[in-house]
Amino acid sequence: MPACMKRGEKQLSTIGSNLSRVVTKVRWVVEACNGRLKQWQYLSKTLPNSQIPFIGDYVRIVAALCNKYRPPISRSSEEDEQVAAKMLHLSQRANTLQPLTKFGRSLMLCRH
């Protein structure tokens, strides 16, 4: 889940921002799957409450048909695991630019 700002905060912490970026990078696969399911006319619109008990069955059927007859949205590779490991590693790094931006901001304030 992406990080959320607390009341009164103007921006996320460095770690919160980095983790939010990681979630965003992964989220596209979920959205692509949702989009594929919504290509089916019945699932593309708001369903009546009377259909709630059956929605899970409908989604399973449509997903099975997509898995059988459509190409995969994404294919796994060794490179994917390396990229994911690098993203997680980099998300834990300290923000080396933050002190520079604070210093630069104070210089700009002094000039005016």
Question: Is residue 87 in some structural domain?
Answer: yes
**Residue 22 to residue 81: CA distance in whole angstroms:** 13
* The residue type at 36: R
Per-residue pLDDT of the chain (112 residues; tens, 9 = 90+): 556 777 877 777 777 888 888 888 888 888 999 999 999 999 999 999 999 999 999 999 999 999 999 998 877 788 888 888 888 888 888 777 777 776 655 555 555 5
For residue 27, the model assigns a pLDDT of 87
Question: Is residue 49 in some structural domain?
Answer: yes
Contact 86, 22 (CB under 8 A): no
Question: Is residue 100 in some structural domain?
Answer: yes
Q: What is the pTM of this model?
A: 0.59
Structural domain including 49 reads 14-111
Query: Distances in Å between the alpha carbon of 96 and those of 13, 14, 103?
Result: 13, 10, 12
Question: Is residue 73 in some structural domain?
Answer: yes
In the chain, the number of structural domains is 1
Question: Is residue 6 in some structural domain?
Answer: no
